[in-house]
A and B are shown apart, each in its own frame.
Chain A
Amino acid sequence: MLRINDLHASIGDKEILKGINLTVRPGEVHAIMGPNGSGKSTLSAVLAGKDTFTVTSGEVRYQDEDLLALSPEERSWRGIFLGFQYPTEIPGVTNVNFMKTALNEHRKYQGLPPITAAEFLKLMRQKMEIVEMDPAFSSRGVNVGFSGGEKKRNEIFQMAMLEPKLAILDETDSGLDVDALRIVATGVNRLKRPDNATLVITHYQRLLDYIVPDVVHILYKGRIIKTAGKELALEVEQRGYDWLIKEL
């Protein structure tokens, strides 16, 4: 589904990703862990198409296409979804209008007619339930005045609406209390299907108590320095990252 080969990316003169290799198959959950500043968020932003980063070499194949040649919206239509670490507030654009526009663009790409207002509201209500979101949020500005937990729920709600094939969750656990974490993680698990994949980017192990990964990668200074099964996350939780860095 996703194959990253020797990916290098910079911001300005500073190289942040220094040769990433990663393969994700349908149905898999991958966790990417690493200390602050290792490049985790850069990797997710590059995969979603954020233009503040420049890819200097390497390639990313996604469903047999050159992902890097596509605009952020084209990636979205093909099933890439980025759950933001810091979801953006957009005053004046209501959640309803935002999601309706987004969903209809996806439908247009799939050759489907725009969704009717009634169908849309029904769908929206169903998907809001998945993350226990108050329907009152739908008429509010996107993320405006939302608490940290509400913003993250809104991310998973959007994911539920768009049904991505590859979801990249960038530090979705940051700033969440235990209840919010459980709600968000339950939401992600309910959206899991054999034909989609999830890339969970996290600093801590605790999210992985809820979203169990098939593979864990440790990212350090722009490279993946270790890849193993889910037990690696537990080891990192107990011993920190230092022993891994020393092994290099």
Chain B
Amino acid sequence: MNDLYTLASGTPNRPRFNCRVPLENSRQLFLVDGLVQETGKSFSFRLQKGQVMEELLQVIAVRSDEGPNELTYSNELFFGENTFGRLLCCAHAFTQGPVSTQETVSIQLEANAQAEIIVMQHEHNEATHKTRFVVNQAAGSQLKMVFLSLHGASIENNIEVNLQGEHANCDLSGLYLADGQQRIANHLRLFHHVPDCQSSQLFKGILDDEAVGHFSGKITVVPDAQRTDAFQANHNLLLSQQARIHTDPQLEIYADDVKCSHGATVGRLQPEELFYLRSRGIPKKEAELLQQLAFAYAVLEKIPNEILRERMMEMVEKRLRGGC
């Protein structure tokens, strides 16, 4: 058993914070201002060779009033050879007023490791959160990550993935919702360093009011990385005249036997769909909400755990209804 399990399975003090996504059959770990609540140390998650996690580990990072206004911290997620692990990483801010967080998350998957990581970013209107994810994947490893950026003054995700071993598979998807004057950016860099790897990126956003979004995604396939299969898509729904999205998909391919595709769209709610829904008695506002949920669903359905998926759908619905 590693440190983490000892920590999470002990009988810690009741956390001071109520989690917004309480899940049955999951272990919870609180990071308060970047440090593990029970130990005061920085967070490091390690699964040793062959370990299989049966439960979901929920890591709840909160900003408290006692922390500095500007906080920087890093943590590490390590999945050894032939391991399987599932994490839900939530970020919340239980503070008044502006706070900014800079976080670095290193994710290492050794040979044939399998990991599912859901990242939920749900702070408040004066919280700035910038995260750099650095992912390295060895041969045959499989990573599935879903990013849900639901609330924050400014959220920025810089995601770098290095596929370093053959037959590694990386599936990234993201849903971002922004309104008011919120800012949300996702910058992805995906490197196919070796042959026979697969990668997929599906990022979708709904922007309202004066929100501004950025998406840039670059897939680099080095000369020897033959038989690469890479996919990237960024789709956006703008609900107001003022909302903006800047999207910049890029492919940089130096190998000749590859399958790569990318696409980006920016659109509005389809009036034909809206009329169809209304003609059946669904009021305009409700019909528009259904359309937005339908748009978001392609990302939410990537969440493997059904209970978690339903919780997340509820949260997204609540958010789209104007709550938080």
Q: How far is the CB of B314 from chain A (nearest CB, A)?
A: 13
Q: B279 in the interface, Cβ–Cβ < 8 Å?
A: yes
Per the bound structure, the CA–CA distance linking A84 and B272 in Å amounts to: 11
Q: Name the residue on B nearest A92 (C-beta).
A: B294
- Among listed B77-85, B173-181, B193-201, B285-293, interface-contacting one: B285-293
Give Cα A51–Cα B295 distance, bound, in whole angstroms: 24
Least Cβ distance of A98 to chain B in Å?
7
Number of A-B contacts (CB under 8 A): 78
Distance from A85 Cβ to chain B, minimum over Cβ atoms (Å) = 12
Q: Mark A78-118, 1 if CB is under 8 A from B, else 0.
A: 00011010011011110001110110011001000000000
Task: Decide: A105 and B281 in contact? CB cutoff 8 A.
Answer: yes
CB < 8 Å neighbour of A101 from B272, B290, B297: B290
In chain B, positions 259-306 with a C-beta closer than 8 Å to chain A are 271-273, 275-284, 286-287, 290-291, 293-298
Known: A84-B276, A88-B272. A102 touches B282 (CB 8 A): yes
Question: Is A172's CB within 8 Å of the partner chain B?
Answer: no
| A88/B282 in contact, CB under 8 A | no
Given contacts A72-B275, A87-B276, contact A92 B293 (CB under 8 A): yes
Q: Are A88 and B284 in contact (CB under 8 A)?
A: no
Contact B278 A90 (CB under 8 A): no
Chain B residues with Cβ below 8 Å from A84 are 276, 279
Interface centre among A76, A93, A106, A158 (most CB of B within 10 A): A93
> Which size class do B's interface residues fall under?
20 to 34
> In the complex, what residues of B have CB within 8 A of residue A87's CB?
276
- Contact of A206 with B by CB under 8 A: no
The one of A72, A92, A102 that contacts B298, using a Cβ cutoff of 8 Å: A92
B280 and A98 within 8 A (CB): yes
Chain B residue nearest to A72 (CB atoms) is B278
- Say which residue of B277, B278, B280, B287 sits within 8 Å of A162 (CB atoms): B280
A90 to B293, CA, bound (A): 11
In angstroms, Cα B283 to Cα A75, docked, is 11
Question: Do A106 and B281 have beta carbons less than 8 Å apart?
Answer: yes
In the complex, the answer to whether B284 meets A73 with C-beta atoms within 8 Å is yes
When C-beta atoms are compared, the residue in chain A nearest to B281 turns out to be: A76
Known: A93-B294, A101-B286, A105-B286. A88 touches B276 (CB 8 A): yes
Q: Using Cβ atoms and an 8 Å threshold, which residues of chain A touch B286? A: 101, 105
A95 vs chain B, min Cβ distance (A)? 11
Pick from B271, B278, B297: contact of A73, CB below 8 A: B278
Is the pair B293, A73 in contact by a Cβ cutoff of 8 Å? Answer: no
Q: Looking at the complex, which one of B277, B284, B296, B298 makes contact with A90 (CB distance below 8 Å)? A: B277
Q: How far is the CB of B79 from chain A (nearest CB, A)?
A: 32
Q: Which of B273, B275, B291, B296 contacts A50 (CB 8 A)?
A: B275
Contact A162 B276 (CB under 8 A): no
Q: Is A39 engaged at the interface, CB distance under 8 Å to the other chain?
A: no
| A48 and B281 contacting across the interface, CB-CB below 8 Å | no
Q: Which chain B residue shows the least CB distance to A93?
A: B294
Chain B window 64-82, contacts with chain A (Cβ cutoff 8 Å), 1 for yes, 0 for no: 0000000000000000000
**Interface assignment of A71: CB less than 8 Å from any CB of chain B:** yes
CA separation between A106 and B278, bound complex, in Å? Answer: 12
Bound-state Cα–Cα, A92 to B212, Å:
25
The smallest C-beta distance from A141 to any residue of chain B, in angstroms, reads 8
Contacts of B291 in A (CB 8 A): 90, 93
Query: In the assembly, what is the distance between CA of A81 and CA of B279, in Å?
Result: 7
Minimal beta-carbon separation of B322 from chain A (angstroms): 18
In this assembly, does A220 line the interface, its C-beta being within 8 Å of a C-beta of chain B?
A: no
Please measure, in the bound complex, the distance between the C-alpha atom of A102 and the C-alpha atom of B263, giving whole angstroms: 34
The answer, yes or no, to whether A77 is at the interface (CB within 8 Å) is: yes
Residue from the list B283, B290, B298 in contact with A93, Cβ < 8 A: B290
Cβ–Cβ < 8 Å partners of B278 in chain A: 49, 71-73, 76
B275→A73 contact, CB < 8 A: no
Q: Smallest CB–CB gap between A133 and chain B, Å?
A: 16
Flag A40-65 by CB within 8 Å of B: 1 or 0 each: 00000000111110000000000000
Chain A positions within 8 Å of B295 at CB level: 92
Could you tell me which residues of chain B, from 80 to 138, have a CB within 8 Å of some CB in chain A?
Answer: none
- Neighbouring B residues of A75 by C-beta, 8 Å: 279
Least Cβ distance of A102 to chain B in Å? 4
Residues of B whose CB lies within 8 Å of any CB of A are 271-273, 275-284, 286-287, 290-291, 293-298
Q: What are the 9 A-B residue pairs with the smallest beta carbon separation, nearest first?
A: A92-B294, A76-B281, A72-B278, A88-B276, A92-B297, A102-B280, A105-B281, A93-B294, A73-B278
15 A-B pairs with CB atoms under 8 Å apart are A71-B278, A73-B278, A73-B281, A73-B282, A75-B279, A88-B272, A90-B290, A93-B291, A93-B293, A98-B282, A98-B290, A99-B280, A102-B277, A106-B281, A109-B281
Excluding A88-B272, A88-B275, A92-B297, 4 further A-B contacts by CB distance (< 8 Å) are A72-B279, A92-B295, A105-B283, A105-B286
